[in-house]
């Protein structure tokens, strides 16, 4: 399968799967792990697969010499377009492209995440829309001991070392989203 075929195969199922209800937004403001501002220091605590959610986080990890095993980017930070250097750096090795509207998780996004986690080579998913919520299913789907790193606006990078307690907390949170939770969980099966 060519890279273009690969992208097209994943990008067809972009209808809303889960939608973040307004009453849960406040719960997502709190970081799910320690905040780090130095990528080198953060990477010293990484000893398994590395999943990065966000352009600036991905950029800092790449600049520190550690390409994420899975990177999810949308060419935006704090709702604004990232600068050209960050955009070019984080999208240079784009493998998959998917649509994922703001405050939602599309089926295409979840399928791409599961696909990327199963690959042996580093995989970058370029999102048309917004990637902010992808850290939640990434924590559920990532293997034990993996690191999920995402940005906390104006504070730094949040590092979640995946363990059962994190998975359980994310499962509980995702169950409270609106939409087709049954299909969502079926797409994450096997992770």
Question: Per residue in 9-55, pLDDT tens?
Answer: 443 455 678 999 999 988 888 898 999 999 999 999 999 999 999 99
Backbone angles phi, psi at 100, to 5 degrees: -150, 100
Any known ligand binding at 55? yes
* Residue 131 in marked binding region: yes
The Cβ of residue 93 has, within 10 Å, a number of other Cβ atoms equal to: 13
CB 188 within 8 A of CB 30: no
The pLDDT of residue 4 is 43
* 33 alpha carbon, distance to own chain's centre: 15
Reading the block at residue 2, the tokens are 């060519």
Q: Mean pLDDT score of the chain, rounded to an integer?
A: 88
Please state the domain extents for the chain.
Answer: 3-20+33-184
Helices (H) and strands (E) in the chain, counts: 8, 12
pLDDT, tens digit, for every residue of 105-128?
999 999 999 999 999 999 999 999
Give the position of tokens 């600036």: 56
Q: How far apart are CA 162 and CA 125, in angstroms?
A: 20
First to last CA, the chain: 23
Q: Per the structure block, which two tokens stand in for 70?
A: 């899975």
Known binding residue 82? Answer is no
pLDDT of amino acid 80: 77
Is 128 annotated for ligand binding? no
37: three-class secondary structure by DSSP: coil
Separation between Cα atoms, residue 89 and residue 18, nearest integer Å: 30
57 is in an annotated binding site: yes
């Amino acid at each position: 399968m060519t890279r273009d075929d690969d992208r097209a195969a994943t990008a067809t199922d972009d209808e809303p799967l889960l939608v973040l209800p307004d009453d849960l937004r406040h719960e997502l403001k709190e970081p799910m792990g320690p905040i780090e501002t130095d990528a080198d220091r953060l990477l010293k605590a990484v000893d398994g697969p590395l999943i990065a959610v966000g352009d600036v986080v991905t950029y800092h990890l790449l600049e520190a010499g550690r390409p994420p095993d899975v990177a999810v980017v949308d060419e935006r930070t704090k709702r604004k377009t990232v600068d050209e250097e960050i955009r070019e750096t984080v999208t240079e090795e784009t493998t998959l492209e998917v649509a994922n509207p703001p405050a939602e998780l599309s089926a295409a996004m979840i399928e791409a995440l599961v696909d990327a986690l199963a690959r042996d080579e580093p995989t970058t998913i370029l999102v048309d829309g917004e990637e902010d919520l992808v850290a939640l299913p990434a924590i559920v789907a990532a293997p034990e001991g993996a690191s999920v790193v995402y940005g906390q606006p104006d504070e730094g990078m949040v590092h979640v070392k995946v363990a059962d307690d994190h998975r359980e907390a994310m499962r509980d949170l995702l169950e409270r989203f609106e939409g087709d939770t049954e299909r969502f969980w079926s797409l994450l099966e096997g992770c």
